[in-house]
Amino acid sequence: MTTEREKMARGDWYTCLDPELERLRIAARTAVHAHNTAAPEKRRTIAPALRALLAHAPPSAIIEAPFHCSYGLNISLGEGVYLNAGCTILDSARVEIGAGSMLGPHVQIYCADHHRDPGKRAKGLEIARPVRIEKDVWIGGGAILLPGVTVGAGAIIGAGSVVTRNVPAGATVAGNPARLVPKRI
């Protein structure tokens, strides 16, 4: 029999109200709490409990407090990644943040997409779509990345933007929904 966690990992519809998934979310909240309540002189590093939870987090990656994630185990950070205060990553699917990328304060990354049928949604039915941020991306404060998007290397996402589709490498997007900003000559 397939577990809800296995369905989630495969990108199939799964029930988020599952006891195993709840245990994983509690473990993530515990690790996040340890990180968010670390002494001020340790705030520029990732707390050991959170680092152990993440799929990959090199010593050069920085996560400012406060931070929130759903599971943590699906988050992979590249060298020199910087997440400013208030970032939220709802990582029901894989979230990759490439080397040298910088996320402004209160950036939100969502992987879970809920069912459109209200009855199924009320039963916790959702599907997880990965989010990929390639290297050297700059994401302005308050931006939201929706499930399944890829942001190409060197792209810039304007503050407050809602990214609903893939962003090409080197592009600048802004707005809600985020649209290409013409390059100035």
Q: Which residues are catalytic?
A: 114
Task: Please give the Cα distance from 160 to 143 (Å, whole number).
Answer: 4
The dihedral of CA 136, 140, 141, 147: what is its sign?
negative
Contacts of residue 102, defined as CB under 8 A and 6 or more positions apart, other chains included, come to 81, 82, 84, 137, 138, 139
Angle in degrees, CA 38, 43, 47, rounded to 5: 60
Query: How far apart (Å, rounded) are the C-alpha atoms in residues 178 and 164?
Result: 7
Distinct helix (H) and strand (E) counts, the chain: 4, 19
**Could you identify the residue written with the tokens 């369905």?**
7
Q: What stretch of H or E contains 126?
A: strand 125-128
